[in-house]
Every structure is written in structure tokens, then in C-alpha cells.
Amino acid sequence: MTGRGTDSKIRLENVSKRFRDGTVAVDNVSLDIQAGELLAIVGPSGCGKTTTLRIVSGLERADTGRVYFDGVDVTDVPAEKRNVGVVFQSYALFPNMTVVENIEYGLRIRRVPPAQRRERAGQLMEMLKIAGLAHRRPSQLSGGQQQRVALARALVIEPAVLLLDEPLTALDAKLRDELRVELQRVLKRLGITALYVTHDQAEAMCIGDRIAVMNQGRMVQIDVPTNIYRRPATAFVAGFIGTTNMARGHLAAEGGRLYVDVGYARFPVPSTTKGPGEELTVLFRPEDVSLAAPGQEHFRGRIENIFFLGDKVRVFVRTFTGEEVIADLPSESRVERSTDYPFQVDAAKLYSWAEETA
């Protein structure tokens, strides 16, 4: 029995991969992905995302560890027998085939009868809004259209698992935003289990039911987007996901309450297992900072830069200790550069942990 008492669709168990030149691309990674789940793997370039995906697809062999699909050990099963669909950053469409021929290709080599091929390709083209392009060749399509075709081509075989490696990275920003919303909708509608690799944290937040943050071959944190954002496991996660204010200081007790003294401010922290003298990292986001009524401030600081962003004003504040704090203020805020203001931080949103920042 190769199953491991799990109902996970995909399971990676202590998977590692070291390349011949000594590079450790994947370092003891374990993952569980449930049926119908979209797991976004996010991390900086070179952290091992693509290698992880290739190991799941069977294109790459792990040195150690096992891969399971539906509880069945597929570690030694070749890529073409895994029923996996893949979409890469480069569209890799067949240039000499039309859109519909490209999409039907996977069904043709599986000897699915023409009528059935047409029907399934038609449904996907409809869903991905490319029905009108059926008889064009890839060279006659925009990047976004090509990527829709690539997606349809991967989905047409009804893969058990869909792997996407930075599928939107080559597109321009606006198209990327549009397509990722649509992509998420299509994948959810099909109930497909997918691993979505990206270096773009905003994309990961949008697509992922859960997010796996990867760094230097390791999975640093795997959790739902709100926890990744609000309760990052490490300073790396906090710094990589979203815009972050972080400060380090020592715990102090006063009047039965605990504070972290970060130099420019004393932030209240909720009851913690740590005692006075302990060192903590405090995290708060720009949207947790606001202008304070005089006397109510956590700190004062000089606004050095102001960026009007439409829905908000982002200001860069210099504290008297020389730290920089980023604050998002309501867009109607009347603040001026080179002026001191009192600021407060929403205490309920402060998050702290004892891990080293290094």
C-alpha cells in the first residue's frame, strides 16, 4: 500500500533536489494540496519554484522524498503518465497549427473522436473568450490571447492537476490584472486542482486559496492569504508580501501592560508568552497607520515624500531615530512635506514575533 492515509490530491513529502553543480534548488519540501484547491507558490527568482513544479509534473526527478497523487506514490511515474496539464510563461503553441488545432492536439493524440474534440475545445474557447479566434495562427494573436489558448490546450485533456509557471509574467500590467481574475474564475468553475507559481505576491494573493511562500529552496510558510499577510511566520515573509513596516525592540512591562520599545515609539503588544527584556519584531502595514490627535500619538515623524495614489495618499515618514515608516492616509488628507505630524498605529493590527530578522 503506497497511500499514506491522506485525502490530498497532491502530496510532497520531504522532497529535495540538488543539481550537479551543487545548487540545492529544493530543500526538504513537504506540501499537501487538496482536491479543487489553488495553491500559489510565491518567492523570489531562483528560490526553487520551477524545480518544485517540474518535480510534481515528473519532468524532474527528486533526489530524495516522495510525490503522491490521490495517495498513490507517483515518484517513479514518468511525466506523460501523470495526467498533468502545464502552462508556462512562454506560450509554446504550435506555430503551424490554428488555435482550435492547438487546443485539440492533446485530444487528438489520445485518439478522442473528432466530434467530441470539437465540442470540448469549443466549450473551453467559449469559457476563455477566444471562440472568435479559432482559425487564426498563434502569430496572429496578442500575448494575452496566446496565453488563453495555452490554457485551453492544457485544460482540454481534463488533467487531474494543472501546473502553471508564471503564466502571466510576459504580459503587460493591465492585461495581467484582468487575466488573473479571469483565470481564477475559470479554474474555480472547473474545480481543478492547481499549483500556480509566481514571483508576484499580488498575483499569489489574488489566485491562491492558500499561498506557499518559498525562499532558498524551502517552504517558509503555507497558509491562507490573510494569515500570510497578517501573521507572517518570519521577517522574510513579512517583507516579501505587501508593504511592511517592521521594527525591533525589547519588551517592557508598565502598569500591568506590555510594550515593545522600538526607539521611536512604544507599541502596546497583546499578552504574550514572552517576558520583559525579550526582543521582538513588530510588524504593521501602511494602512494601519493614521494621523493621531495631539497627545494620542505613538510617534511623531516628518513627512518626507507624498504620493497621491487615487484611493489613498502614501507618505514616507522619518522618525526622530531616523527610521522610515510608510503610512497610507485617506486620499482627502491635507498633509505637507517637510512637516512633523503625530501618528498612531492600530494596536489591534500590530503583530509581533520573536524570530531573528537576519
Residues that bind Mg ion (CB under 5 A): 50
CB 100 within 8 A of CB 107: no
Nearby residues of 184 by Cβ (< 8 Å), 6 or more positions away: 38, 206, 207
Contacted by 87, from ligand ADP, Mg ion, none: CB < 5 to 8 Å by type = none
Q: Can you name the residues that pair with 40 across neighbouring β-strands?
A: 196, 211
Distance CA 324, CA 302 (A): 10
- 22 contributes a contact to ligand ADP by CB under 6 A: no
Contact region with ligand ADP (CB under 6 A), list: 47-55, 235-243, 261-269, 317-325 = 47-55
**Residue 46 contact partner, candidates Mg ion, ligand ADP, none, CB within 5 to 8 A by sort of partner:** ligand ADP
Number of residues that bind ligand ADP (CB under 6 A): 12
Report if residue 19 touches ligand ADP, rule: CB under 6 A: yes
Q: Which does 21 bind (CB under 5 to 8 A by kind): ligand ADP, Mg ion, none?
A: ligand ADP
Give which of ligand ADP, Mg ion, none residue 47 binds (C-beta under 5 to 8 Å, depending on kind): ligand ADP
Residue type, 114: P
Query: Bridge partners of 314?
Result: 307, 328
Q: Is 48 in the site for ligand ADP (CB under 6 A)?
A: yes
Candidate ranges 44-52, 76-84, 293-301, 343-351; the one touching ligand ADP (CB under 6 A): 44-52
Residues 65, 16 contacting (CB under 8 angstroms): yes
Q: Does 25 bind ligand ADP (CB under 6 A)?
A: yes
- Output the smallest distance, CB 216 to ligand ADP, in A: 9
Among the candidate windows 45-53, 71-79, 250-258, 311-319, which touches ligand ADP by CB under 6 A? 45-53
Residue among 218, 191, 202, 350 nearest 285 (CA): 350
348 CB-near residues (< 8 Å, 6+ apart): none
If residue 49 lies in a helix (H) or strand (E), which one and from where to where?
helix 49-57
| CB closer to ligand ADP, 9 vs 49 | 49
Query: What single letter denotes the amino acid at residue 346?
Result: D
Nearest approach in angstroms of CB 203 to ligand ADP is: 14
Minimum distance of ligand ADP from residue 208's CB (angstroms): 16
Q: How far is the CB of 49 from ligand ADP (least distance, A)?
A: 3
Min CB(19)–ligand ADP separation in Å: 3
From the list 228, 232, 231, 198, the residue with the least C-alpha distance to 211 is 228
Q: Report the C-alpha gap between 44 and 313 in whole angstroms.
A: 28
Q: How many angstroms separate the Cα of 269 from the Cα of each of 234, 242, 258, 273?
A: 18, 22, 6, 11
- Residue 54 CB, shortest distance to ligand ADP, in Å, is 8
